[in-house]
Structures are given as C-alpha cells and as structure tokens.
Chain A
Amino acid sequence: MPPKSVADLRVAALISVGKHPSSGRARRADQDARAVEMGLGLAPGGLEVIHAGNPNETVLRDYAGMGLNKLKVIEQSADADVVPALSEYLSDDCPDIVLTGVRAESGESSGMMAYLLGEKLGLPVVTRIAEIRAITDGQAEVLQALPRGQRRAVRVALPFIASVDSAAAPARQSAYGPAMRAELEADSRGIEIKDEVRAGWEENPARKRPKRLKVVKAKTAADRFKAATAKATGDGGTVMRDETPAEKAKAIFDLLVEEGVLR
C-alpha cells in the first residue's frame, strides 16, 4: 500500500548485479529487487533506479522488466570503488529516500554501502527495513526486520537511506518485453576512483569451513565416557511440587517477565 499523502515523493533504488547462491550465475540481486519493488510501491512516478558499473550488463534488464521505463547507469569499470561516484551523483539532487540492499551478492559483500553513503551525504541510515508504513510531514515510519521474525517501528526524517531486508515484500516477476524496451541511460561524466586496496587481495572460491568439534577436556576416561554418553540435563533447576497452582503459575510468570518474552 503506497502511502498516498506524498504525491511528489522521489525515491532512488540502487541496484547491483547479484549472484545465484548455488549456480553462481549472475542474476537480479534478491534484496535489490525487493528495494525496487518497495520503490515502485512508494512512488511509481518518482522512482529512479541507479546502477554504477557496466552499462552493457544484461542482468540489468531483469530489473527493467519489473516495469521500469528507464535505468540510470553510472559508468564505472569493474575495479572501481562505486561509492564516490554514487555519492557525487546523489548529492547533486538528493532524492527523499535512497534504498539499497543490505549486502551485495558479489564482490566484497561488506554491507558498507548504505553507511558510507550516509556518512558522505550526511543522511540518517535505517538498517534492514521490511516496509515503509507511512510518510507524513516529512517523517517516515518504517518497519525494521529483527531476528526471529520480530519487527520494530522506527521514525526517521526525510531524506534518509534505508537498506532493504529479505523480509520485505518479494519482487514481482520480470517481464521480457518491457525489459527489452526499457532504456538504459549510460552516464560517463562522473568521477571514477580505482579501488587500489582491493587489487592486492586474493579471491578464491569459498573453502568449506571445518566443523567445530566438541572437545571434552576431562582428566579421566570415566569422565570422558560420562560426557560422551550423558543425556542433556540442565544445571539442576528449581522444582516446585507442593505449592498451590497459583503460586506455581506465578513462578512461571516471573520467569517470563524476567526473560523479557512477555510483552
């Protein structure tokens, strides 16, 4: 549901080239596509989708197939650091909301993009949002995705940067026809800064990480045997037997309150 109160809202979604987790093939990055989806819901007219990189990349058409007429591509070579170029482009005429993914699916995948842009442009950053619920009087109320399926509401003043979590609404399918018709507008005027630090790194396919072994540091064979065969038991908890049901329920209640699970 797009918040209708803001008619001329301007949203930018930053997209990257993803990588399929099992086949390794280039694809539309999941979180970035969700960001585009969120942008389409917020401001179908005022959405600008921006990519910094190679304008001939075919994967970009997958994003365009979501119903975009135009994609902005800031031309950068493969070994460039895209943050300066993007921050320069965005600072010229800053949109109200900048959406990114939490972590890229290729490259360093550090997740620093949103924060670096936030620091450069002086904008607040909201992490891992699942939904933008309302925008009123220059303030947005966003829902943040927390671990364990929980949500938190956060208020933030426009303009801001938000990284979109995988808990956000899934992206619509990409349609071939619109994807082919969309215009990829390449822009090569911007600055390009080579990422020299990265050139010194060595990158290999991920090695399998060794599983951590449960090492039992027992002095005697009997203790080791005991540790290997023992059933899981707690450290001798409290047992309530003769109290009334009300007292017992109170004890459980106190524990729930102390653990903070009772809201």
Chain B
Amino acid sequence: MSDDIIRRDPRAEWIARNRLHPLHDAMKQAGAAEVRGPSGLIRRNPHAVGFIGPNGIKRIDRLNGNSQAGGSRRAAAKTVDLPLHRVETPDYYIAVVPDLIGGRLTAHDKDVLGQAHQLVSAAGGAGAVLTIVFGDIREDSFDKSGVDRLMQFSGEQFEGYAPEARIAALEHIEKSLAPKFWLFPDSVAAGFELGCRLAARLDERPLTQAWQVGPETTLCRGAGGSSDITRPTQRLLLLAPECANPIDETRHEALAMEAVELGATEGKLSDLGQVAVDPNSVALGEAEFILSAGNGVSNWDNFHRAAELLGATEGGSRVVVDDGHMPRFRQVGASGTWVTARVYVAVGISGAVQHLQGIGQCDKVVAVNTDIGCDMVKRAALSVIDDGDEVLTELMKLVQEYRQLEVTDAA
C-alpha cells in the first residue's frame, strides 16, 4: 500500500521550476525524466522539447525522426543506397542499343532499358540486359538506369555516321551471344536506323513504334501513328517513347564486357562531317544550344555577335521581348517556347517561374548574372556572378582563339 503513496519533494520541484537556480541544469540531467505535478500526474516540460537549430531558433521535430533529420536533406538524399541487382552467370541476354545523344542516355533510352527489365521478369531466369554503346560515353549512371552488362565499341570507325561498322558489330554480337531480344529506341536519332538495318540484315520482321509490349502480343502504332496494330511479339523491337517506366528502384552492375576487335569494315558510305547551319534558322524549340538574354543585357550588338560566334540559337526572356529587343518567337518560357536545348546559357535572366518552366528539359544551364541569390543561379549547373557583357566579351575572345587554333591545326 505504501508504494502507491506519491512522495513529493517540494525542493526538487522548486528547483525544476526555477530555471535560474544553480542546480537546475544538473537536476534536469540527473534523470528527472518524470516530473510529477501536484496531483501526481506526469508533467511534460515544453521547454525541454526540441533542439536549437543552426540559426539559434528552436526547432521541434514533429516527425519523430522520420525525416532525415539533422544534416541537409540534399546530402541525405544522395546517400540512399538502392539494392544492387546482380546477375552472376546470365542464362540469356537482352540487347539494348541506346541512342546515347551527346554520350548520355536520353529519357527514351531509359524507357527502353526499363522495358528490357520488364521482358526479363516476364521471361524469368537470370537474364542480363546488355547495353551496346558506340563511341565516347559521358554517362555516369548506367548502374542506376538498369544496365547489367555494358559493351563499348570505340575507335575511329564507329565515330560519326558509321551505320555499316555499327551493324557489323551488332551482327557479331548476334552470332556470339544470340540475345533473346534486340531493343532499340524508335527515335529520329540513330535508334530507328540501326534497328531497321539490323532487321534487314538478319531478315527479321521488327515491331516498330511498339508502345505496349507483352510476352505474347505487342501493340504498335501503325499508319503514321493513326492506328494500333496488335501483333505477336518478335525478337526485334523498335520501341516508342514512354513504352515502359525507367528503372529507379534498383542499382545494376554495369559490368564492362570485352568488345571484340573488328577489322575495318569496308563501307560504301563516308561521313563528311556536320555542315554548318545558320543556328537562327533552327526552331527555338528544337535548338541544341541556346544563348538567351534577359533584362540584364544592355549591349545588344555584343550579345548578337556572341551568339553568332558561338553558333548558338538566340532566345530571350519575356521582358526583352516586350521591350522590343527580340521578336516574339524568340521568347523562352511558359508563354513562349518550351525549349529542349542541351546547353542553355542565360545571360542576365533572373529565373522567374514562368521562365524556368520553359527550360525544364534543358540538361546544362549556365547562368551569367550579377545577383548571386537569383533563382536562375539555383537552377544552373555553372553560375558566373559578373557583368554579362564583360563575360560575353571574354568568352568571344576565347572562342576566336579556339577557332584560329583549329584552322592552323587543320592546315
């Protein structure tokens, strides 16, 4: 019975209440975990909840540690380790030949890799997704895109436009590994052409513009995209964009496989290189490299000269278009053109939401701005805090030197 009687210690209580008491801290730490109120109820001390944040303000974590509390969220997100998908000894291969534009996997390529893994899980067994790439690679996330094996053909004969050499390589893989499926992105870039050439060479009938691939039947777009054809699934597939979801929950080995040395193939086609086209004749929406001007640009002659010298298509923010410095069709952003450039150089653009929406698909954004805190700097892969005109002038000097060097090298 005596256990039930709550013994109160008025002195301890008083010290606990008085934060200025010399013994207050010691007492609190000494394990006054439970503080009883006068009626015997447990009292929570609201002052003891939470912690002091980096800028001296008290923070209360109401998620009970569920969010990655502590360090910065961005750093934490990077360290998440996805489970590794391992294929020790593959029973069969599924070959994927990505477009690899600019040495990187495109979104379409990643969809195709996702489709390859769907086919592996439908077929069962230990299947490995073999990715075959030609020329230089700049991609660093093959493992996160679902590449189990990677075979790279490099060398002069595969550079540029070399369909004959590439087909010879693919034919060799067909003979040595006999992949269960061949997957290509059905894109305007190399995928469509390589797929068709391989199909003609192997005398297989490919499925083109396939967008729903099952183990038995496949839905393909036919008649210029106006009809759906249901047909049995074949070995050679040319896949439409968004045919499957890209891989995002596993990591893969991306083990390099030795590419065979192929002798120089005798080709009837020879690549004479890309031809200079007037960058301003290219539609803004499909331009590859855009130099874009905002309200921070004052020397317009300088800007136009820079665009010409760099070989970049010109673009602008709404403000400069409204001010009449550029025609309306040069406006980038929500109410202008949604651009898809690989490299977007924004000079004197603050990065309003309407503008950032328009450049959502750009790979590399470079910001030149006097204001370090503006949103464009947050979006950019490289930001330069300086006067736009001055940087452009310096950049032009470098490009001029580079061009001259090239001419003397060629001579």
Contact = CB atoms under 8 A, between A and B. Distances in A.
Interface string B370-411: 001001011111111111001101110111001000000000
Contact of A259 (B189, B232, B249, B342): B342
A207 B221 CA distance: 9
Contacts of B74: 235-236
A144 B160 CA distance: 13
Contacts of B391: 245, 248-249, 252
B366 A119 contact: no
A177 interface: no
A118 B193 CA distance: 13
A219 B73 CA distance: 14
Interface in A82-139: 103-112, 114-116, 118-119, 124-128
A234 B270 contact: no
B224 A103 contact: yes
Contact of B382 (A127, A157, A238): A238
Interface stretch (B32-40, B46-54, B276-284): B276-284
A234 B63 contact: no
B199 A115 contact: yes
A231 B232 CA distance: 44
A53 B163 CA distance: 31
Nearest to B101: A147
B229 A152 contact: no
Contacts of A155: 269-270, 272
Interface stretch (A34-42, A54-62, A185-193, A194-202): A194-202
Interface bracket on A? 35 or more
B222 interface: yes
Interface in A224-263: 231-241, 245-246, 248-253, 255-257, 259-263
A151 B276 CA distance: 7
B206 A112 contact: yes
Given A152-B273, A245-B391, A240 B383 contact: yes
Contact of A233 (B268, B357, B378, B385): B378
Given A111-B208, A115-B196, A148-B286, A237 B383 contact: yes
A241 B385 contact: yes
A246 B283 CA distance: 32
A79 interface: no
Contacts of B2: none
Interface string A141-175: 10110111111111111001000000000000000
Contacts of B382: 237-238, 240, 251-252, 255
A203 B289 CA distance: 41
A1 interface: no
A112 B196 contact: yes
B377 A245 contact: no
Interface of A: 19, 21, 24, 103-112, 114-116, 118-119, 124-128, 141, 143-144, 146-157, 160, 197, 200-207, 209, 212, 217, 219-220, 222-223, 231-241, 245-246, 248-253, 255-257, 259-263
The 5 closest A-B pairs by CB, nearest first: A249-B394, A149-B282, A153-B272, A124-B268, A115-B200
